[in-house]
């Protein structure tokens, strides 16, 4: 496991310590869990299991069929 040093403003450190204490964990573990949550981009297994589970849900084409045409767009240049 890697070891790093971070510098936090005093008020953020106090809040982190209070939150870790509330969760009954160390500050190090509490911060590591928050970093992991921010960096973990995987879909939860429950979401993946639910995907496609509604057979009567309209297709993308059906959903977009009533939209009509897009308005002309100006270039971003």
Q: What is the pLDDT of residue 12?
A: 96
Ramachandran quadrant class, 73 (left: phi over 0; alpha: psi -120 to 50; beta: rest): beta
Nearest alpha carbon to residue 34 among 12, 56, 52: 12
Q: Tell me, what's the pLDDT at 41?
A: 77
- Global pTM reads 0.53
12-64 tens-digit pLDDT = 999 999 999 999 999 999 999 999 988 887 888 888 888 778 888 888 888 88
């Amino acid at each position: 496991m890697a070891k790093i040093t971070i510098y936090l403003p005093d008020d953020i450190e106090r809040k982190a310590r209070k939150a870790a204490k509330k969760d009954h964990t160390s500050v190090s573990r509490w911060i590591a869990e928050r970093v992991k949550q921010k960096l973990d981009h995987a879909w939860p297994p429950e979401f993946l299991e639910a995907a496609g589970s509604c057979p009567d849900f309209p297709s993308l084409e059906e959903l977009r069929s009533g939209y009509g045409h897009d308005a002309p767009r100006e270039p971003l240049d």
